[in-house]
Structure 1
Amino acid sequence: MSKGYKITKIVILSIVVLLAVLAVTLFTASGAQKKAKYLDPWKRDYAEQFEDPRLQLIAHGLLAANSHNLQPWKIQLDRQNPLAFYLYTDNERLALESDPLARQTLVSQGTFLEYMRVAGEQLGYPPEIVLFPDGEYDEQHLSESMERKPVAKITLSKANLQSNPLYEFMFLPDTNRMAYQPDEITPAQIRKLNKTNTDQELILSILNDKADIEKFGAYGVEGTDIETGLRRMNDESARIFRSNEYQKNKYRFGFSFEGQGTTGLKKHLLQGLITIIPFLNNEEASTKLAVQAAQTAADHTPAYALILSKDNSRTSQVKAGMLYSRLILTAHEEGLVMQPLSQVLEEYPEMREPYSRIHREYAAGGETIQFLIRLGRSTQETPLSMRRNAVDLISE
C-alpha cells in the first residue's frame, strides 16, 4: 500500500470524524434529543386530563390562531359558580411596536372564544358568551383597563353531546405561509365559507378576481418590506424568537423555524447553527428571506378573503376574531388553508400610506379591515406551533 494512499485515507477518515462531531454538536445545541412538550396541547387527549370542564374548553381555546403567537389570554375562574369563568387580555403579552393599538390582540381574544365555543358544543358544555360584561376598555388607560375589565364572561351549561363537524379541524395548524396550488376556489366552497358570517356588523368577502389577487399580493409584499425594514419591529420579533428546543420548551410561545415550514434535519441544523453562532440570524438576512417569502406567497395564491367590521370597537374586533376561527375551521373542512397578512393592516406611522390606500380601495364605506387572508390549497404541510399549558392561563 502506497504512502500517498494511506495519507488520503487518513484525510478522508478525519473529515468523516470531523463532520460527525459537527453534526452531533449541532444537534445537541438544537436540543434534538428533547421531547417537544410545547406540542402537548395539540394532542387529541390533552384536555382529558382535566376534570373541570372549564379547563377542558380552555385547553381547546389555546389552539386558536393569535397575533405573534403571544397567546395573550388570561383566565379567571368564578369561585362561586363552577361552570363560569372570565377571559381577560393579558396586558403583559402585547406587541407594542407592531400592534400599538392592540387591535390584533383583541382579535386574538375572539379566535380563542370561538374555539372554546366549538369545543363546548362537542363536549356537551355549550358556552354562553357575554362580551365585555363590565363595558369596553378605557382607551386612555388601556393596560390598566385590560387588567380590570374582562373581554368575556363564559358560562357553561350541561347538555347532551352534540357533534360539531368543525371540531376535528381544531387540531390542524391554523396558518400556512407556503405557496398554494393554482386550483381556483370553487363557487360551492365560496358559498360555504360565506355562510360562516352570521353577524350583521361584519362583512366577509371572498375575492378571486385576477386584479384583486394582484393587488392583495402587492400589499402583502409591500407591508412585509416596510415592517422588516424597521429596526424596532425586527427587535420585537427577535425577542420572541425561539432558536432551539430548550427555549421552545421553556417559553412555549413566540416564533420559531417551524413557522416557515422548516422541519426534520434541516430544522435541527439551523437551530444548532443559530444557537452556536447567533449572528448568523442577522437582520439583513432575515429581512431578505421574509420579503422573498412574501413574494413567493403572492405569486401562488388563488384567492383572498377580507373580514371587515362596520366600526372598529373592541367588541367588533373580538367578533372579527370569532369569525376568523369559524372561517379557518370551515376552510380546513373544505381541504383549504389560510394565512392572514397582518402587516399592511398595522397601525403605526410607517404603514399609514398603504393602510389608508387599501381602506380606500376595499372599505370605502368607512369600515375597518380586520383581516386580509390568503386562501387556497396547500402544497406543503405546515408544522404545529408552540402552545403553553392550559393551567398557565389561569390567574388568581
Structure 2
Amino acid sequence: MTDRRTILQILALSSLAAVPAVGATLKPTTDPAAAWRNPGAGQKDPRLYCLAHAILAPNPHNRQPWLVSLEGDDSIVFYFDTSRRLPATDPYDRQLAIGCGTFLEILSIAAAEIGYQAQISLFPMGEPQPNLDDKPVAHIRLVKGGAKDPLYAFITQRRSNKEVYDAKKPVSPETLQNLLTREPVERLTFAGALSGTPACEKLRSLSVQAYRREVETPIALKESIDLMRIGKAEIAKYRDGIDLDFPGIGAMQAMGLLTREKLMTPGTKVYQQGLEQYDPLAKSAAGYVWIISDTKDRYAEVAAGRAYARLNLRATALGIAMHPMSQALQEYAEMSAIKAETEKAVGMSPDKCLQMLARIGYAGKVPPSPRRGLSEHLRT
C-alpha cells in the first residue's frame, strides 16, 4: 500500500463536529478530519455518541466498511458494508472482519465513558462463510453501568504511523512487555520481538518481500492504486482510502509526473521507487508485535480486531508508533509462500491463525486518516 509521504519523497527525487440531537438530521461533511474533532459533542443519544467514536477505528485500506441502524431506544444493529470489499488482497474478508472488531471495541470504550456497557451479540443470524455478507455482524444494546476505560483518552490521538521510525531510539523489553501483557484476551496470544533478535530481523525481511510481492502482483497493486485519493479534492470527495497530498501535487499531476498509470507501470521511476519504499520502513522498526488466535473463524477475527484496537491505543498511551504490516498475512495465491514463512517466523502452529502483525518504534506525530462522517454509516 503506497503512503503519501513516501510518494512525496519519490517525487522530490525526480467529526464530525457537534452531532445533533437524536431525531435531527446528521449533516454530511466534506472535511476529511472533522470526525476526529470532539466526536459526539452535544449528542443526547448515547448510541450516536458511541458511533461517532467507533468510526475512528483502524481498518484495512481505510475502507471504513461499517453500516448501522438504530433500533428502539437503546439498540444498534451493525452490518458489514459489502460494497467495500478488498477482493484482491483480502479475498475472504478476514482483514475486514478484523476491522469490524476494531469498530466494536472503540464503540464499547466510548460507551463506558458515558456510563454504559455495550452488550454485543455477534452474528445473530449465523457466522458468514466463506465471505462476510449483508446479515448483521452484531446486535448491540447499551445498558447503564460499568467503569470508564482509561484508553478512551487516546481514541482521537490514535494513529497508524507509516513514517520511518527513529532507529536510534529502541523500545525497551520492559516497554514491550507492558504493551503486550496488560490485558490478556482468552483464545488470543500476544507476542513480540525487538530489533536485533532473529525473529525481528526475519520479520523485517519478510515485510519488505511481502510489500514487493503485492506491488508486483498487478491485481493487488491496482486495488491499492484505485483506492488512492490524490490531492485535496479527491480526499474531500471520498474521505476514505489512501490519502496522498502535499504542496505542489496539482502541478505534478499537470506535468504528468504523478499518475495512476505510472504508479502501476513497471519501469517508471515512480513505480520502482514505490517498489522499494518499505525498505526504510522495515529497517527502522524497533520491533514487531503480533496477535495469534486459537481458531480460524469469524469470532476469532472480530476478537483479534478488538484486541488490536486496544493494543494500538495502549501503544499511543506509551508514546509508541505502530504500523500494521498486513501484506505478509494476505491470503491470495501469490503471497502464500511469504505468508507461510511469516507464520513460521512467529512460531505459529498450523492449527492457529496469525491475525495481526505490526511494526513498532518511535516517530513524530502524523495527522489522522480521513473519515467519511457518521451520516455515511447510518442505514435509512
How high is the TM-score relative to the length of structure 2? 0.85
- Structure 2: any 5+ residue segments left out of the alignment? 1-28
Q: Distance in 1 between matches of 2:309 and 2:223?
A: 26
Following TM superposition, by how much is the alpha carbon of 1:49 offset from its aligned partner in structure 2, in angstroms?
Answer: 4.4
Which residue does 2:243 correspond to in 1? 256
Note if contact 2:30-2:239 (Cα within 8 Å) is conserved in structure 1.
no
Q: Does 1:206 align with 2:181?
A: no
Instruction: Single out whichever of 193-202 and 60-69 deviates more from structure 2.
Output: 193-202
- In the other structure, the counterpart of 2:96 is 105
Alignment of 1:80-95 (within 5 A): 81-95=72-86
Equivalent pair of 1:173/1:385 in contact (CA under 8 Å) = no
Pick one of 247, 250, 262 that aligns with 1:268: 247
Are positions 1:69 and 2:66 aligned together? Answer: no
Residue matched to 1:164: 149
CA 278–96 in structure 1, closer or farther in 2 if over 3 Å, else same: farther
DSSP-derived class of the 2:292 partner: strand
| Within-5 A mapping of 1:113-262 | 113-139=104-130, 142=131, 146-148=133-135, 150-159=136-145, 162-181=147-166, 182-208=168-194, 209-257=196-244
Report the alpha carbon displacement of residue 271 of structure 1 after superposing the two structures with TM. Answer: 4.4
Query: 3-state SS of the aligned residue for 2:276?
Result: helix
Seen in structure 2, the aligned counterparts of structure 1 residues 278 and 88 have a Cα distance that, compared at 3 Å, is farther
Deviations 1:39-74 (A, max 9, x none): 100002x31243221111111011110000010011
CA distance in 1: counterparts of 2:172 and 2:257, whole angstroms? 46
- In structure 2, what residue type is equivalent to 1:233? A
* TM-score (norm: length of structure 1): 0.82
Greater helix fraction, Structure 1 or Structure 2: 1
Question: 1:32 — aligned with what?
Answer: none
Q: Within 2, Cα distance between the matches of 1:77 and 1:349?
A: 40
Instruction: Name the amino acid aligned to 1:66.
Output: N
Match of 1:373 in 2: 358
Give the aligned length: 344
Shift of 1:359: 1.9
Unaligned runs of 5+ in 1: 1-34, 259-266
Distance 1:195 1:270 in 2: 44
C-alpha distance in 2, partners of 1:280/1:77? Answer: 42
One of 355, 360, 364 as aligned partner of 2:344: 360
Q: Could you list the per-position Cα deviations for residues 78-114 of structure 1 after superposition, in whole angstroms to 9, with x for gaps in the alignment?
A: 1xx3111111111000011111111111000011111
Between the aligned partners of 1:390 and 1:350, the Cα distance in structure 2 is 37
1:43 equivalent in alignment to 2:37: yes
8 Å contact from structure 1 (residues 129, 152) kept in 2:
yes
Residue in 2 aligned with 1:60?
Answer: 53
Determine if contact 2:59/2:99 at 8 Å carries over to the other structure: yes
User: Deviation of residue 286 (structure 1)?
Assistant: 4.5
Aligned to 1:394: 378
Deviation at 1:132, TM superposition (A): 1.6
How far 1:135 moved relative to its partner?
1.8
Distance 1:276 1:173 in 2: 36
Q: Percent identity?
A: 27
Partner residue in 2 for 1:261: none
Secondary structure in structure 1 of the residue aligned to 2:83: coil
RMSD: 2.0
Pairing 1:294–2:278 present: yes
Secondary structure, aligned partner of 1:130: strand
Q: Which amino acid counterpart does residue 316 of structure 1 have in structure 2?
A: A
Q: Could you list the per-position Cα deviations for residues 7-48 of structure 1 after superposition, in whole angstroms to 9, with x for gaps in the alignment?
A: xxxxxxxxxxxxxxxxxxxxxxxxxxxx9711100002x312
What do the CA deviations read for 1:266-324 (whole angstroms, capped 9, x no partner)? x0312442267375451244543333321101111111101011111011001001000
Quote the Cα distance in structure 2 between the aligned partners of 1:216 and 1:253: 29
Cα pair 1:55 1:391 within 8 Å, conserved: no
Listed one character per residue, the Cα deviations across residues 210-252 of structure 1 (whole Å, up to 9, x for unaligned) are 2112101111100011001122122212222111222212211
Judged with a 3 Å threshold, the aligned counterparts in structure 2 of structure 1 residues 275 and 325 are, in CA distance, closer, same or farther, namely farther
Greater strand fraction, Structure 1 or Structure 2: 2
The answer (yes or no) to whether the contact 1:243–1:275 under 8 Å persists in 2 is no
